[in-house]
Homo-oligomer: A and B are copies of this chain.
Amino acid sequence: MTTTEQQTDPRVIFTPSGRRGRFPTGTTVLDAGRSLGVDIDSVCGGRGLCGRCQVTPGVGSFPKHGIVSAADHLSPEGAIEAEYRRARGLIEGRRLSCTAVVHGDVLIDVPPESQVHRQVVRKGLDVRTFTVDPVVRLHYVVVPPADLARPGGDLARLFGELERDWALTGLEADLGVIRTLQPALERDGGRVTVAVHEGRSVIAVWPGLHERIYGVAVDVGSTTIAGHLADLADGSVLASSGVMNPQIRFGEDLMSRVSYAMLHDGGAAEMTRVVRDALTSLVAGLAASGSIAAADIVDVAVVGNPIMHHLLLGIDPIPLGSAPFALATDRAVQTMAAEIELGGVHPGARVYVLPCIAGHVGADTAGVILAEESQRAERMRLTVDIGTNAEIVLGTKDRLLAASSPTGPAFEGAQISAGQRAAPGAIERVRIDRATLEPRFRVIGSPRWSDEPGFASVERRLGVSGICGSGIVEAIAELFLAGIVTADGVIDGSLAERTPRVVPDGRTYSYVLHEPAGDGPRILVTQNDVRAIQLAKAALYAGVRLLMDHLGVDEVAEIRLAGAFGSQIDLLHAMVLGLIPDCDLAMAAPAGNAAGTGALIALLSAAARREIEAVVRTVEKIETAVEPRFQEHFVDAMAFPHRTAPYPHLRAAIELPTTRTITDTGEDGRAERRRRRVVAAGSREDR
């Protein structure tokens, strides 16, 4: 309500907010809305240029709101609006609220796209609904020319207009803005658009009306660097892309990169340089894909595990390689793009790096929490981001715990005889007939099962090159369900009598998943493959169980699996193997690349940044390496699905086999040696 309202003044009611007031005839709809605190966007400051403030006047009687609204209760379309309609188009019934003037009672609907804080539901990106609350905003102003009689600075005059039109006070400006302000002012008669960061710092200036600025959200993984390009005003994602992390040439896994830094002078700096170069390429590619100028990118949000975080920021990662695994900082880092040598973007571009949680639980996990809203969970929720390490978050809105468990690279297809990265031709789905013990499978790139007609053409086209992480989990789970692999993880050689698929392989047995028709590889599941998955899943389960102990709970109510592998595996098969604890399968779901999604949310919402910074401080960090119970849990978790855990939900969903126990399988000693290393206190070989 305005304080000066008269009972005879026209009534203006805004939907969906329901805010209402009386305003003198002649008030613009935008001014009326603003004075009521209605959320209406504008870049041009009510000059009829940007079209962000569009509204739809109601026509007819609205008994619920107690008014009769009519199109002619607003001023007719004027010259500015007509010009906008001619040049840019205006949906039928829409008005520019900055030019439409109130003449009588009117109901005004503010469509979502005209709201600054609009709700965003993103499909395909697995983004929860969140409110875009831009950290960097555009403001258009017309700066009066310098005046000989009142000499002063261009910057002071700009600040004056920003205060007058946009109520921005206490502003500061980058030196780069001061450098470019004068030519920008000159180019278009003092009309400029500025980008303001956090309502405080002017970080960019353009001549005339500049309508769009962009941001990039990046997940710097050890293997892949993935990014989304988003419009900072409406949160729309224009392009998503990934590049390989070129640090791979210094070591496949994180620990070997730390070793590289330890063993080579300047090694860390070299890895910093290549990851920064890759980020610059990624951003250039995103800009090209999104058909925008990279120089219009003004903000970047970054997540990554602690070692990627440190290397990108140019911080020595060596302390993260050994106890006490001390982070240089567990605060969010706010810096300039130039400070991390990110090229091509606007010179004033900012970089926001989400906070790391602990030495093994990085900003990527902070991103997962932000994306999955773990801090708002009503029921006990387990969220796991599975990569070379599994980052585990467990708890409810009242208490959150986080830990990292050294699963190793088996889930990514490494250490598996036929393992490969998830790529076309890789086996990703497996079924084994309980009676015949015959397999069927699907490869990435085709929906056809291997026992369906026409699979031969799929095989010719894609090849059947190996098994990806989700494929090996499914294969071993099916082998267990078919009784070929025992609960202890032994391939039962006695079955060689029943099926030619079980074949001797040295002193152990393998299962032949695929005999190639042409010259492709024969694809086996070996005893060592089973052992590698047992070790990985036992490490994951032991970490989860440790957090459950800390919380004093025996079961979890909800499960979210994030990461490329976590999003692809079949949850039933994962539970059959005991990767995850027992849970109602209806309450388990994949979470996609939640870390990258978290980066996107942080990119688009200042409130989300403040929230994750606060949440991270309250998360309790559990260091698996120093917990003696981790070793006990690890040993118990080696069996399928588990030596002692009853798994009632799983048993209700599927019948588990009763397999015999085979001792002394004669397997070679590699897997056993690795198991011993993981069990040994403090051993963290793959961080």
Residues on A facing B (Cβ under 8 Å): 145-156, 172-173, 175, 178-179, 181-183, 186, 313-316, 319, 323-331, 333-335, 339, 356, 358-359, 621, 623, 625-626
Contacts and interface: CB of A to CB of B under 8 A. Distances in A.
A419 to B, nearest CB: 32
B324 A148 contact: yes
Given A151-B359, A316-B179, A331-B156, A324 B146 contact: yes
Given A146-B326, A178-B333, A358 B154 contact: no
B358 A151 contact: yes
Contacts of A173: 329
B316 A151 contact: no
Contacts of A155: 328-331
A152 B330 contact: yes
Contacts of A621: 150-152
Contact of A623 (B151, B186, B626): B151
A182 B330 CA distance: 13
A498 to B, nearest CB: 51
A352 to B, nearest CB: 12
B151 A325 contact: yes
What are the 9 closest A-B residue pairs judged by CB atoms, nearest first? A146-B326, A153-B330, A155-B329, A151-B358, A153-B329, A146-B324, A153-B327, A148-B324, A151-B621
Given A154-B326, A154-B327, 12 more contacts: A148-B323, A148-B325, A151-B325, A151-B621, A152-B327, A152-B358, A153-B326, A153-B328, A155-B329, A156-B329, A173-B329, A175-B335
Contacts of A358: 151-152
A331 B159 CA distance: 11
A327 B151 contact: yes
Given A175-B333, A329-B155, A623 B324 contact: no
A402 to B, nearest CB: 10
Copies of this protein in the assembly total 2
A182 B314 contact: no
A315 B324 CA distance: 48
A623 B27 CA distance: 42
User: Would you call the interface of chain A mostly helix, strand, loop, or mixed?
Assistant: mixed
B316 A183 contact: yes
Contacts of A329: 153-156, 173, 178, 181
Nearest to A623: B148
A179 to B, nearest CB: 5
A327 B156 CA distance: 10
A310 to B, nearest CB: 9
Nearest to A682: B148
Contacts of A172: 334
Contacts of A147: 324
Contacts of A156: 329-331
A302 to B, nearest CB: 13
User: Which of A146, A152, A330, A335 has the most C-beta atoms of chain B within 10 angstroms of its own C-beta?
Assistant: A152
Given A152-B358, A330-B152, A330-B156, A315 B182 contact: yes
B178 A315 contact: yes
A173 B150 CA distance: 39
19 contacts: A145-B324, A147-B324, A148-B625, A149-B626, A151-B325, A152-B327, A152-B330, A153-B328, A153-B331, A154-B328, A155-B330, A156-B329, A156-B331, A172-B334, A175-B333, A178-B313, A178-B315, A182-B316, A182-B328
Contacts of A314: 175, 179
Which of A151, A327, A334 is packed against the most chain B CB atoms within 10 Å?
A151
A635 B156 CA distance: 36
Nearest to A146: B326
Contacts of A183: 316
A43 B339 CA distance: 30
Nearest to A313: B175
A179 B151 CA distance: 44
Contacts of A153: 326-331, 356
A328 B179 contact: yes
Contacts of A324: 145-148, 151
B333 A148 contact: no
A332 B324 CA distance: 45
A553 B324 CA distance: 74
A154 B331 CA distance: 10
A617 to B, nearest CB: 9
Contacts of A356: 153
A151 B328 contact: no
A148 B316 contact: no
A626 B330 contact: no
A587 to B, nearest CB: 30
Contacts of A339: 175
A396 B182 CA distance: 34
Contacts of A333: 175, 178
A623 B335 contact: no
Contact of A151 (B182, B326, B335): B326
Nearest to A353: B175
A329 B151 CA distance: 11
A311 to B, nearest CB: 11
A366 to B, nearest CB: 13
Nearest to A625: B148
